[in-house]
Chains A and B, each alone.
Chain A
């Protein structure tokens, strides 16, 4: 079967760094996406990885290891506005997105 696992909830302090992990088992792989979703809003795109390694975009970085079926999203210099859910999604062999349940990130002052 297809499965995406990520922690349900994480807490971090403003100004700190947090790493959100995602492991996956899917039929085929055409890339991994991270989306951010604030409460009551639609998901918005953060990053895309299709090759192994680290992709950096400002305060956010995303890492992929295809052999391990593993990715993480790294958020640096946390701000209160980063409080949101972070969704990991894998594009399968039909370019369908298989979604994790999301990680709710709580930022404390």
Chain B
């Protein structure tokens, strides 16, 4: 399978714990995005990487969130000291930016439940 993969698919944690999610993009894609989505809303942008460089972070992203993409391949998203408001679906997407096109391919998502 050459699509975007995410791990784990589901995570249940207690408030205050740290969690880490992994995303493996399509291998030739140079951009990787993280989104958060809650019920009835569109994806909310969190951050993105072009190769290994993190180019933008949402102003809504608190200091408890950090993302890395070492070597420009897979990426991890860590949430420290989780809060109940962090419960959401975390989506990863990758794309190959060209002059005219930037279709994003999504992974299946990681559903986080904070108790």
Residue among B42, B45, B101, B107 with most chain A CB within 10 A:
B42
Which B residues fall within an 8 A CB radius of A?
A: 31, 33, 40-45, 48, 56, 91, 95, 97, 100-109
> How far apart sit A42 and B109, CA to CA, in the bound complex (Å)?
6
> Given A42-B91, A42-B107, A99–B102 Cβ distance below 8 Å?
no
A-B contact number at CB 8 A:
54
Min CB gap B61→A, angstroms:
14
Chain A binding surface SS class? loop
Find chain A residues with CB under 8 A from B40 CB.
8, 101-102, 104
Q: How many residues of A contact B (CB 8 A)?
A: 24
Q: Report which A residues bind B (CB closer than 8 A).
A: 4, 8, 30-31, 33, 41-45, 48, 50, 87, 89, 91, 94-97, 99-102, 104
Give me the 3 closest cross-chain CB pairs, A-B, nearest first. Answer: A99-B42, A42-B106, A95-B102
